[in-house]
Amino acid sequence: MVQIRKLRLDDADILSQLMNNINIWNNLRDRIPFPYTKKDALAFIKMSHTDTNLHNFAITYQNDFCGVIGFVRQTDIHKLSVELGYWIGEPYWRKGIATHAIHLATEWAFSNLDINRIFASVFEHNHSSMKALLKNNYQREAILKKAVLKNGQILDKHIFAKLR
């Protein structure tokens, strides 16, 4: 059973253990530190509780912490949109957890935030993430050709979105 809940300070140990994985970091933005420490996890959890533009949740599978999903509210003329981001710890891959977590988080966002649009950016090699978004009726809106520099490689960025 997949659930989402508020992040807690006692999630820091497992969050840092799961996140300190190059296979996860390869699909994230470079602003996420690597290696990822407990100190990084604590700072992230504290920021999640204080920054009103962030709405981050722990993902649990059979009551075990297995990842994070959340939204970043956009500003200015984009203020009715949020960006969706998520990751699942590698031991929990290929169990449908991301698909279910995206469903739960999308329902939460449309019920609790004054928004019209949720979007997500996915690197070209992350086919599992693309499939999870498509299963939740997110539409591929664009492929930004050679828009991302990650690990010395220039990659396409796929943009998916779901409207209220």
What CATH number is associated with residue 75? 3.40.630.30
Give the chain's length. Answer: 164
**Per the structure, how many domains does the chain have?**
1
Tens of pLDDT, residues 45-88: 999 999 988 999 999 999 999 999 999 999 999 999 999 999 99
Type of residue numbered 24: I
What is the structure's pLDDT at 36?
A: 96
From CA 149, how far away is CA 161, in angstroms rounded?
22
Tell me the residue range of the domain where 85 lies.
2-163
pLDDT per residue as tens digits for the range 105-134: 999 999 999 999 999 999 999 999 999 999
pLDDT score, position 95: 96
The pTM of this model reads 0.95
